[in-house]
Structures are given as structure tokens and as C-alpha cells.
């Protein structure tokens, strides 16, 4: 049997001692990534003919330089053959080699040892007889972890309930963090350039990314109401904000991908699940009027679909945060009064006997398209509902001023009379008047193209109806009723409208 060892163009002669050791690559879960083969050669460079020691030194150093030159590059073809037939081949990297002098001081023999490392999976050669193709190519290790917590400590079925009939289920969310750490190793494939570990690590990490419900269905550990997720493709409904952070080390061939999810197992009844809302309600009282302010923020959640296993596809945003916030805001507005009333009822117990007016006293809404947020501040009060109704009315103030009848008398001044003037009853009374003053603050008009559009925010019909109520009451009690004053002012650029109507009235008979 004749064994030959050849690395590139260099042939190890005489034949060295040959050993192979193999180490499996396994993750903590026992998943295998292949086997690393370490091939060791132990041999000697020998001068066998009879030469002077000086000549032996020269020849041995020449042989040593040839050996060093043959081992000056990783990735050459290593072939172990027996009687001309190859029994092992591959493109290893050189872990180390040592050249040692013997007792003859470089005159007859120099020993050496070389350690090669054979990759688990070999491309461009006759294959690796110690491994099969079931292992991921060129991957050295992969660690994957999931972190799950209930966001903001809002537990499932947390209710907002007052003493009234209103009841709202506050939705809860899960904050999920998925971390994938992959390390790839450098492999020579027989081509001009070796593999690119960071690209192999990237491709393998991409296959591990994405939401996987089986790791989040922890109903036996977290207080989740049953199993809310299913393994489906496309991604599970209720999974949002799939953002990724990548840490890449191209020299080390490592990549770490951290992706975060906001998961909504069950949304609030009647509200979209793709937003998170927080709100606070405060109550103040001044001069017998109670004000209830509800302030909140809506954070929209994005819906992102990544091209799994196809990094070149990138991602597709099927739902933007701001659009989600706007949709949620449109749905939640009709709940603001109920929330304010529930808090007012619970805190004050209606101790003043004043119902909360459903008309908004003050309102402010701010949007942040970049952050995808909408903030709002609404105030309700216990002020009675106004007598004037209209969609555009922000506030109103109505007064009725009555000038009642007084005696008519003459006042005669007498010179020198210390008691003052002489008063003489004329036998009649003054006329009676009633003046109605209406002040409204409305939204300004949206167009000035016509007088009809300019006056569109003014509820003229409701104003006339109220004034008719006042005049009708006078007409039913007095035989003579006259309009003695009638004026109005519409400062439409500021949305301020005033109207003043005066009535003079009396009876014909005594």
C-alpha cells in the first residue's frame, strides 16, 4: 500500500504520519450544524545520502523553504491517495504548522507537524465523505431566543366601569422580541475566492426571522385567554411593528438580528386592533361648575410584510402608523363622552346633582404623521345645554334684561326748602321693556363665495325660534307688544355672532 499526501503542488515526502479527529457542531438544543475534521500530519525532512554536514544543512534548509512555500496559502486542494486512488480530498485551511530541529542540528533531519481543518460541507471537490448534505452549509452556530411580556402591565379583560351602564374592555398587547445570532465560518470551495461568511450568516438568519406563534402561545405561563395564534402564512393577524435591528461583523462572519413585534391577541370591542391608546381623565370644580377633561394619545402600529427567505424582496408596508392612528381616532371619538361621564360619575357620585353636558366645551387635537400619533384634549362641563342648537356652536351666552314699570312723578324744587324737592304723583307708570341678548361662538365659515355660505355656521333658525318663544310669551300676556330694538353682528372671521332684540309691551285696559 502506498499513501501519498499532496497539498496543492506540494507533495509530502517521505510519507508523514496521518490522523483525523472530528468534532460535531451542535447548538444548545442538540441541532447539528455538521462536523469539523482536523487532519494532522507529522513527518520529517530527511537527508539519506552521505554528504558533509555543511551540505546537509543547505539541502535541509532548501527542503524547509519548499515546505513553507507549499503551506503559505489556505484553500488549496488536499488529496490523500492510496495506490493512485483518492481516499480523501477537500480544500482546508491551515490551522498551524511547526518546523523543529532535531539533535543533529539540521544536518540530517528536520521534523514538522501540520494541522489542517476541513470544512463540514465542501463545494467544488469530490465531497466530504464524513458528512451528508442535511447540515446547513458553512454555519458554525445559531442561537435563537424569544422575549415576551405584557406591554404596560395591562392584563386581559381589564375593564373600565362606572356606576352607570357604560363598560369598556381595555385591550392588552404583548411586546415580543425575537433575537437571532448566527456565526458562519470561512470555507474554501476550490474557486478563486473563498466563501463570504457574513453573506452565509445573513442568508441563514433570514430563514429564521418572522413571527412564530408557537413561541408566543404561553397560555400556561402568561395570563393569556387561551391560544390566540395560529401558524398561518401570510403572517398572523394582530401582529404589528415588525421592526428589525441588525448588527453585522463582516470580518468575524457574524450577524445578530433583533426584531420586535407588538401583538394584539384580542382588540377592544368596536375599535381597530392596530393602535395603542392611553388616556387620563381629570375633574375640576369652580364656582359650582364641574369640568371633566379627558386627555389621550393614540399610537398607530405599522403592518410590515418581509420577504422571508428572499432578502432581495425587502419588505412591503401594508399599513402605516399614521393611517392606523387616524382610523382608530375616527372610531374612538364617540366614546369620549361616555368615558368622561363614567369617571365623573365614579369620582363625584353626582353629589351636586348636575348631569354632565354632552356638548364639548373645549377641544384640541394634535397629529404627528412621522411618529404616527394623535393626541387629544376634550373638556366637558356641567353647564346646562344651551337654548340655541347647531352643529357649529362652540359656546353661547344668552341674557334677558327686563326693565319693569316704575311710577311717574313730578319733582318740584322749591328755593330755600331744606327738606328737598316736592314730589307729585302724576298717576301713571313707565313703559315696560324686555331685551334679549344672544352671544354665540361658532366655527368660521369655510367659504365667502356667497352670503349664504358666509352665514352658514350661524343657526339662524334656532335663534329665531328662541326669540319667537320670548315674544310669544309677551303676546299671550299683554295686548300691546312692539319690537323697539333689533340688531345683530356677525364677526365671521372670528366666528362670533351677537344679536339683540328689544320688546316694549303693555296692556290697553287698566
pLDDT tens-digit map of 314-329: 677 888 999 999 999 9
Strands 78-82 and 3-7: antiparallel
Q: Residue 490: what pLDDT?
A: 95
Other CB atoms within a 10 A radius of the CB of residue 30 amount to 6
The stretch 388-394 carries a mean pLDDT of 80
Q: How far apart are CA 66 and CA 83, in angstroms?
A: 24
Q: How far apart are CA 41 and CA 115, in angstroms?
A: 7
Q: How confident is the prediction for the chain on average, in pLDDT?
A: 83
pLDDT of 361 over the 80 cut: yes
| Structural domains of the chain ordered from first start | 3-118 (2.40.30.200), 139-381 (no CATH), 393-506 (2.40.30)
Q: How far apart are CA 398 and CA 113, in angstroms?
A: 106
Q: How far apart are CA 338 and CA 478, in angstroms?
A: 46
The stretch 257-285 carries a mean pLDDT of 85
Strands 315-319 and 362-368: unpaired
Q: Which range is least confidently modeled, 154-158, 194-198, 285-289, 354-358?
A: 154-158
**Predicted model pTM:** 0.71
Q: How far apart are CA 295 and CA 363, in angstroms?
A: 10
With H, G, I as helix, E, B as strand and everything else as coil, classify residue 137.
coil
pLDDT of 227 over the 70 cut: no
Q: Which range is least confidently modeled, 22-31, 277-286, 403-412, 486-495?
A: 22-31
Q: How far apart are CA 434 and CA 153, in angstroms?
A: 62
Q: Residue 180: which of 221, 211, 214 has the closest Cα? A: 211
List of E strands, 214-288: 239-249, 254-263, 275-286
Question: What does the block give as the cell for 407?
Answer: 311710577
Partners of 362 in the beta sheet?
379
Q: Residue 121: what pLDDT?
A: 47
Q: How far apart are CA 232 and CA 218, in angstroms?
A: 18
Q: Residue 81: what pLDDT?
A: 85
Question: What does the block give as the cell for 425?
Answer: 304723583
The stretch 420-430 carries a mean pLDDT of 87
SS (H, E, C) 47-103: CCCCCCHHHHHHHHHHHHHHHHHHCCCCCCCEEEEECCEEEEEECCEEEEEEEEECC
pLDDT of 311 over the 60 cut: no
Residue 424 host element (H or E): strand 422-429
Q: Residue 130: what pLDDT?
A: 46
Pick the more confident residue, 505 or 383.
Answer: 505
Return the exposure string of 240-259: e unless at least 16 CB atoms fall within 10 Å of the residue's CB, then b. bbbeeeeeeeeeebbbbbbb
Do 460 and 440 contact (CB within 8 A), yes or no?
Answer: no
The stretch 375-386 carries a mean pLDDT of 87
Q: Residue 177: what pLDDT?
A: 94
Over its C-alpha atoms, the chain yields an Rg (Å, rounded) of 46
Amino acid at each position: 500500500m502506498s499513501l501519498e499526501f499532496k497539498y496543492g503542488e506540494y507533495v509530502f515526502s517521505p510519507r508523514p504520519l496521518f490522523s483525523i479527529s472530528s468534532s460535531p457542531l451542535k447548538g444548545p438544543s442538540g441541532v447539528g450544524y455538521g462536523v469539523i475534521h482536523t487532519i494532522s500530519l507529522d513527518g520529517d525532512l530527511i537527508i539519506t545520502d552521505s554528504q558533509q554536514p555543511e551540505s546537509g544543512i543547505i539541502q535541509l534548509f532548501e527542503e524547509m523553504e519548499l515546505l513553507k512555500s507549499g503551506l503559505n496559502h489556505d484553500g488549496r486542494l488536499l488529496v490523500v491517495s492510496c495506490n493512485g486512488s483518492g481516499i480523501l480530498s477537500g480544500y482546508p485551511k491551515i490551522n498551524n504548522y511547526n518546523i523543529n530541529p532535531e539533535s543533529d542540528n539540521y544536518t540530517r533531519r528536520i521534523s514538522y507537524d501540520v494541522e489542517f481543518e476541513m470544512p463540514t460541507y465542501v463545494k467544488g471537490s469530490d465531497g466530504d465523505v464524513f458528512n451528508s448534505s442535511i447540515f446547513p452549509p458553512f454555519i458554525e452556530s445559531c442561537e435563537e431566543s424569544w422575549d415576551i411580556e405584557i406591554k404596560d402591565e395591562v392584563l386581559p379583560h381589564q375593564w373600565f366601569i362606572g356606576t352607570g351602564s357604560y363598560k369598556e374592555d381595555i385591550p392588552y398587547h404583548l411586546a415580543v422580541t425575537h433575537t437571532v445570532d448566527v456565526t458562519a465560518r470561512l470555507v474554501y470551495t476550490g474557486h478563486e475566492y473563498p466563501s463570504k461568511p457574513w453573506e452565509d450568516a445573513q442568508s441563514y438568519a433570514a430563514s429564521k426571522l418572522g413571527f412564530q406563534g408557537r413561541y408566543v402561545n404561553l397560555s400556561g405561563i402568561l395570563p393569556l385567554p387561551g391560544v390566540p395564534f395560529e401558524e398561518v402564512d401570510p403572517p398572523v393577524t394582530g401582529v404589528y411593528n415588525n421592526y428589525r435591528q441588525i448588527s453585522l461583523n463582516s470580518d468575524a462572519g457574524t450577524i445578530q438580528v433583533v426584531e420586535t413585534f407588538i401583538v394584539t391577541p384580542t382588540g377592544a370591542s368596536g375599535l381597530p386592533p392596530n393602535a395603542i391608546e392611553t388616556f387620563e381623565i381629570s375633574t375640576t370644580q369652580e364656582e359650582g361648575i364641574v369640568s371633566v377633561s379627558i386627555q389621550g394619545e393614540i399610537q398607530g402600529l405599522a403592518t410590515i410584510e418581509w420577504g422571508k427567505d428572499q432578502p432581495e424582496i425587502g419588505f412591503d408596508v401594508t399599513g402605516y402608523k399614521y393611517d392606523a392612528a387616524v382610523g382608530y381616532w375616527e372610531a374612538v371619538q364617540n366614546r369620549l363622552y361616555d368615558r368622561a361621564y363614567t369617571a365623573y360619575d365614579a369620582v363625584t357620585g353626582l353629589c351636586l346633582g348636575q348631569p354632565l353636558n354632552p356638548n364639548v366645551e373645549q377641544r384640541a387635537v394634535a397629529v404627528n404623521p412621522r411618529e404616527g400619533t394623535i393626541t387629544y384634549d376634550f373638556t366637558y362641563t356641567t353647564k346646562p345645554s344651551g337654548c340655541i342648537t347647531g352643529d357649529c356652536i362652540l359656546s353661547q351666552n344668552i341674557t334677558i334684561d327686563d326693565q319693569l314699570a316704575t311710577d311717574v312723578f313730578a319733582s318740584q324744587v322749591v328755593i330755600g326748602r331744606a327738606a328737598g324737592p316736592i314730589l307729585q304723583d302724576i298717576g301713571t307708570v313707565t313703559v315696560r321693556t324686555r331685551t334679549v341678548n344672544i352671544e354665540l361662538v361658532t366655527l368660521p365659515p369655510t367659504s365667502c363665495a356667497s352670503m349664504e355660505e358666509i352665514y352658514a355656521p350661524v343657526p339662524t333658525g334656532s335663534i329665531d325660534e328662541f326669540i319667537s318663544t320670548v315674544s310669544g310669551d309677551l303676546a299671550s300676556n299683554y295686548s300691546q307688544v312692539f319690537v323697539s330694538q333689533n340688531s345683530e353682528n356677525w364677526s365671521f372671521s372670528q366666528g362670533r355672532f351677537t344679536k339683540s332684540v328689544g320688546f316694549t309691551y303693555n296692556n290697553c285696559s287698566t
